[in-house]
């Protein structure tokens, strides 16, 4: 099976940076998204998330979508910044619908703005 979620080298102790490709599987979601988000959030009390949707991104398997919704329900209050690059319309709509329960600053960027998105993500300074 082909890997569908890739952790980018910019990932650090507070920020998970991902590239999504194809149809995200439940196994990839758990290994490369769910577990790292939980680890970062549990260690720091918060996390940032940068997601680049590759041109071949097709969405989520039913199982991965269910896991994603559970993670959002549990960990969205700990998010500080969310950057979505080249996100499909369905993802943007979903995140806007969930905005009442999200405390994070959320921004959407076009594919050609991926460097700007990463710079915005990495410029975050937590309140003291």
- pLDDT bin (cut points 50, 70, 90) of residue 124 is very high
According to the CATH classification, is domain 5-122 in 3.40.190?
A: no
Residue of 114, 96, 115 lying closest to 106 (CA atoms)? 96
pTM more than 0.85: yes
Q: Which two tokens stand for residue 94?
A: 């979903």
Domain boundaries, the chain: 5-122
Q: Output the average pLDDT for the chain.
A: 88
């Amino acid at each position: 099976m082909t890997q569908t979620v890739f952790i980018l080298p910019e990932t650090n102790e507070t920020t998970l940076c991902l590239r999504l490709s194809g149809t995200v599987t439940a196994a990839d979601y758990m290994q490369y998204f769910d577990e790292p988000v939980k680890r970062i959030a549990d260690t720091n009390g918060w996390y940032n998330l940068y997601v680049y949707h590759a041109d071949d991104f097709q969405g989520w398997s039913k199982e991965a979508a269910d896991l994603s919704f559970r993670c959002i329900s549990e960990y969205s209050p700990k998010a500080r910044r969310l950057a979505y690059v080249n996100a499909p319309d369905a993802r943007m709509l979903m995140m806007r619908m969930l905005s009442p329960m999200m405390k994070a600053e959320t921004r959407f960027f076009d594919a050609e703005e991926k460097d700007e998105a990463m710079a915005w993500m990495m410029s975050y300074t937590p309140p003291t």
